[in-house]
Every structure is written in C-alpha cells, then in structure tokens.
Amino acid sequence: MLRLILVIFISLSALQPSAIAQERLFTDLSLQYVSNYELTTKTFNDTTIGGFSGITYNPQQEEYYLISDDRSSINPARFYTAKINYDDTGIKEVKIIGVNYLKNQQGQLYANNNIDTEAIAYSPRNTLFISSEGVSNKAIPPFINQYDLQGNFLSAVPIPNRYIYDKKENKGIQDNYGFESLTIKANGISKEDPFRLFTSTELALSQDFDPKNINSLLRSRMMHYVVNPFSTPVLIAEHLYPVDKPPLGVIVNGISELLALPQEGYLLSLERNLGLRGFGAKIYQIVMANASDISNEKSLAGNIDSINPISKKLVFDLQNLNIELDNLEGMTMGKPLADGNQSLILVSDNNFTPNRQKTQFILLKMAYH
C-alpha cells in the first residue's frame, strides 16, 4: 500500500511542473459581465439591418464598424458604422450612423451569392480588412481584402491554395466553415509600420477532416501574416487551433472570432455553439508560443500527436450568465471604461430572422492582474 501511494505521489509530482509551466504561458486577465443590449432598429438607408458577423473599433473616430453577412441577396454586401454609448454600468445606446457597400476590384457591387463576408478588422492605415468564406458550391474562393472606409477595394491578402475548395481533390474550406475570424495586432506608431494579421477557419479544412473520426472536424487552422507597405502580406506561420469538443446536446461548435491582445503573441478567441438549449459561447485566451508551424502539413486528418497545437485557457463562459444568448460572432475592444479597465464588446448575428433571433450586444470588462 505504501509503495502504491509512493508511486502515485511521484506520478503527480512529475505532472505538476508541466502543469505549472503550461499555466505560466498565459497572461493574468479576467472578464466580468457588465450588460447586454438589444438593437431593435430594423432598417437604415433602405437596407435591412442584421447578420452582424464581425465588429471592429476605430479609436480616432470612436466609431465601430459592423460587417453584415448578407450575401448580396437582401441588399448588396456592406458594413455599417455605429456609435455605441456605454459606461461602467452598461450600454446605453447603439446607433447606426452609416452604411457602405463593398466594391470588387472592378469597382462594382458584389453579385448575389458571390460573397459571404464574416469578419472585419480596422487597421493602422485607416482601412478595413474584411474576410469572406467564399461560396464553395459555386467555386467562388474565400478572400481577405483591404478596403477603404467607403468600401472601395484596395488590395488582397494572398490565400494559400490549400484553402481553395476543390471537390475532386478533397481540399479547401468546407461550406460555411471558413474565415469567420480576423484581427490585427499593430506594433508601430506610424501607419507605415508593419502589423500582424490573424485569421482562422471556423472548423477543419476538407483535407483535414476524416469522416471516420468526427473529432478531426475540430482541427482548425490559424494563419499569421505580416502586413507591410512595401510588398504583399506574407504568411509567416500557420498553427493548429484545437476547437472544443461539443458537449452533449450541442450540435456544432466553432471559432467565430479572434482578437489580438496588447501583449505580443496573445489573443482571445470566441467559440460559439448551437444546441438543444440554444446558443452558447466561450472566450479563451490563446498563446502561440510552442505551437508547431503546420504550413507544410498537407493534411491533419491522420495522427497529429507530433504537432503542438495552440495553447488555450478558458477565460469566460457566457452561458453562466443566465441570460438568453444569441448567435455571438463578433468581438472587439472598445474605448476604456472609467475605472481604467478595457471594455470588450460582443455582437450577435441574427441570421436575418428577427422573429426568432435578435441583434445582441454584450459589454464585458477586461482586467489585468
């Protein structure tokens, strides 16, 4: 018996340094719920408000840009400009003040069902980077493009061929599981300084999914670009992001947003799910340190024991709030709160079904310790 206890003690002691080292990877931050707000405005400038899949903040103008995932089927593909009035006690008002249509490289509006915009990020250049999942059943590829604040096309971020859907070759982004997330980490002072751009697939690429192993669907890829004024953006790393396994009663779970933190190499991720109890969402802190570069991995469908994934730590489970959550897809930092802590704003995609869903804004307080 004594020998058994000794063996157990030694085993636990061996595990402890590893657990401590893992914990030290993360910065010490917490999130606290402040309030939630429902936007009841239905239209603006002859457009239908809804489908907000991403949100980003312009600190110079104290304005927020919201990308709609309307595939140019109700109105042309577009983003909205909003003012969000809040303080330490909650959100007082969300007011839509502008709408801009996106134009392609030819200066034309995107045609119906030729685009599926999902994420948006404000850049130090006073421009917007916007991602589209593409439309796989029409062989329309995904993209990450740069636009000016009026929606005019400026440039494209190169997308690796492995992300381009090809049914015959069984590769590329699966339908509706593409670039749901997009975030920018500015490093410099001047708008000409390089910055970093991150995006991820919501779930696994076609070639990374093995139908015989349902858990392989959770193997998302996260890309890390450097954007500079002298050349096209360069992909410098690609990592395996392990999406949480859906709990009992949850139909689907995936990454809906990434958000770069001030500290280099640290991000927040938003995973949202849909199940028998409705919508759920969790916010994780993720760290790229020690993660393997998988840019040369043709497939993740097999054994991946040799690959170090991104490290992640649960920071906030929104289902514990005991409020009705909607389909939360966007997340951004806004202006600081009066107590000096950082605000965090989430927004939901109502899927243009206002009778069943709502456009929900949630305000959280982010504190470092």
Cα separation, 103 vs 37, whole angstroms: 31
| pLDDT in single tens digits along all 369 residues of the chain | 545 444 444 444 554 555 555 667 899 999 999 999 999 999 999 999 999 999 999 999 999 999 999 999 999 999 999 999 999 999 999 999 999 999 999 999 999 999 999 999 999 999 999 999 999 888 899 999 999 999 999 999 999 999 999 999 999 999 999 999 999 999 877 888 999 999 999 999 999 999 999 999 999 999 999 999 888 999 999 999 999 998 888 888 999 999 999 999 999 999 999 998 899 999 999 999 999 999 999 999 999 999 999 999 999 999 999 999 999 999 999 999 999 999 999 999 999 999 999 999 999 999 998
Backbone angles phi, psi at 81, to 5 degrees: -110, 135
Contact predicate 345/369, CB 8 Å: no
pLDDT at 105: 97
- Name the 3-class secondary structure at 17: helix
pLDDT at 23: 66
Contact predicate 36/358, CB 8 Å: no
pLDDT at 8: 41
Residues making up the chain, counted from first to last: 369
Cα separation, 281 vs 57, whole angstroms: 21
pTM for the predicted model, two decimal places: 0.93
pLDDT at 18: 52
Cα separation, 125 vs 128, whole angstroms: 8
pLDDT at 248: 85
Q: Under CATH, what is the fold of the domain 19-368?
A: Tachylectin-2; Chain A (2.115.10)
